Every structure is written in C-alpha cells, then in structure tokens.
Amino acid sequence: MDATDVRRPAVWVNCAVSLDGRLAFAGGARARLSSEEDLRRVHRLRARSDAILVGVGTVVLDDPSLRVQWDRIGEPAGPAPLRVVVDGSGRTPPGARVLDGSAPTLIATTKRSSRTYPDGVGRLVAGSDRVDLAELFVELHRRGVRRLMVEGGSEILASVIRGGLFDRMTVYYAPVVVGGRTAPTMVSGPETRTPEELRALDLESVERLGAGFVATFRPPDRPDRGAAEGADLSYPPSDRSRDEAPVA
C-alpha cells in the first residue's frame, strides 16, 4: 500500500526525549522527561486528536491512561479521544489502564492473537505477523478518525517514521542526559547501515519550552495530505469540530 495515496488520518507523532535521544531510563523504565509546560502542550495535542496510539511495549512498561487531563489545560472536559493500542500478540496486561473502560479503546492486533477483551474494548485485526499500520490507519479514517496522535514507543515510532506514515513530528528535548546501554532510543526498528537508508526530515520550527525545547519536523517533499483533507495541522492546534466521534 502506498502511504501517499490512501486516505488515512493526519498523523501527529509526539514524544519527549533526553538530549542523548533516550525515551526512558535503563531497560525502558518510565522517565518523565516532559516539563510542566510540555505536559500542557501534550494534553492540548491529545485534546485536539480523535485518537491516541501507542504500542503494547509502552502499555507494558508505562501503563499510560492515554486520557486528556482537561484540568491541566484549563478546559472543560470534552469527548475522550479513542485509545488505540498496537498489540500484535495480545499481551496487553489484563489490569492495564487502557482496559479500564474509562474511554473508548481499540486493540489493533493480528491473526496471531485470538484474545478477547472486556466489553467496550474494540478489537481490530490488521496484518498476520505485525500490525499493518498503513491498513490500521486507513481503517481508523474509515471510522471517523481524522487526526491521530502517535505517542510511541521506540518500535512504533520506527514503523511510523520508516513507513512515512506521519505528517508532523514534535519532539520535546529535555536538557538532561540519560546515557547507558539499555535506555531505549527515540527510534529502534531495523538497523541503518548506509547513507541511503537514512531517513531525512524537514525541520519546521524550534521553540524554547520551559527548561527544554520543542522541535517540529515534517516529512520532506511530500504534499501536506492532512491539510489537503481539511485536517488541522496547525501548532498549537486550534479548536475544531468534534462532530465526527470515532467508533471503536
């Protein structure tokens, strides 16, 4: 499937890293790298998204709620974005917060898994070995998701970036160094061995935010598909109609 000629949502990748590009502490233990100012930015992004996606590795290690903290951004509570977990083998822990029923949730899985989930948690098969993200994104679009936020982790970011499946990427750089050998880097996935395999991005802006800074990137030389479909890719995102509620 060619990522440029299918209808998928506008995809906004967001993450926070240390200056040495690490997403977490040794072994993947959760590190809060965002400053208070950055957390407000992240929750504004979540609030303007129809869906928020993470990989199952992040669910296992961080147990995120993937909810919008409306208080943090000083807004009355709006509709909860759909939570999407990419979980090819069905290893989302039964007690994970994403399964708590507090927001619409969809587990994107593969033919490898026949696991069932609690009532109210949707299940979607896309792919036979790994979750086919291009297919998943098209299906999310079909279900009304027009703006999708991808929050990680390292393997999901590799697949989305290498697959050219995004329109914007914001990275908050915290002025700290993690170091070591086992702290995950921002992007894992396949090895890069030659200059031809480098993935180049266009730098759109750099802004100081609290103690750190936020850099915004876009894929190079690509028409802005999201904007062409009327999706809001402005930063900070402006208010937008919530009429198209996604269906899990």
Among the listed residues 65, 69, 89, 185, the single contact to ligand NAP using CB under 6 A? 89
Number of residues that bind ligand NAP (CB under 6 A): 31
Q: Which of residues 30-49 bind ligand NAP (CB under 6 A)?
A: 30, 33
Q: What is the 3-state secondary structure (H, E, C) of 56-105?
A: HHHHHHHCCCCCCCCCCCCCCCCCCCEEEEECCCCCCCCCCHHHCCCCCE
Per DSSP (E only), the strands in the chain are 10-18, 51-55, 82-86, 105-109, 121-125, 147-152, 168-174, 202-209, 212-218
Among the listed residues 11, 16, 51, 138, the single contact to ligand NAP using CB under 6 A? 16
What gap in Å lies between CA 147 and CA 11, rounded to an integer? 6
Are 238 and 64 in contact by the 8 Å Cβ rule? The answer is: no
If the CB atoms of residues 65 and 224 are measured against ligand NAP, the closer one turns out to be 65
Half-sphere exposure of 52 (CA within 13 A, CB side): 26
The CA-based angle 12-142-121, given to 5 degrees, is: 80
If the CB atoms of residues 102 and 188 are measured against ligand NAP, the closer one turns out to be 188
Minimum distance of ligand NAP from residue 151's CB (angstroms): 5
Q: Which of residues 94-123 bind ligand NAP (CB under 6 A)?
A: none
Q: Does 23 bind ligand NAP (CB under 6 A)?
A: yes
Half-sphere exposure of 137 (CA within 13 A, CB side): 29
If the CB atoms of residues 81 and 152 are measured against ligand NAP, the closer one turns out to be 152
DSSP secondary structure letters along 181-192: SSSPBS--SS--
Q: Which of residues 121-160 bind ligand NAP (CB under 6 A)?
A: 130-131, 133, 151-156, 159
If the CB atoms of residues 57 and 81 are measured against ligand NAP, the closer one turns out to be 57
Beta bridge partners of 47: none
Q: Does 232 bind ligand NAP (CB under 6 A)?
A: no
If the CB atoms of residues 86 and 106 are measured against ligand NAP, the closer one turns out to be 86
Q: Does 69 bind ligand NAP (CB under 6 A)?
A: no
Minimum distance of ligand NAP from residue 30's CB (angstroms): 5
Residues that bind ligand NAP (CB under 6 A): 15-16, 23-24, 28, 30, 33, 54-58, 61-62, 86-89, 91, 130-131, 133, 151-156, 159, 184, 188
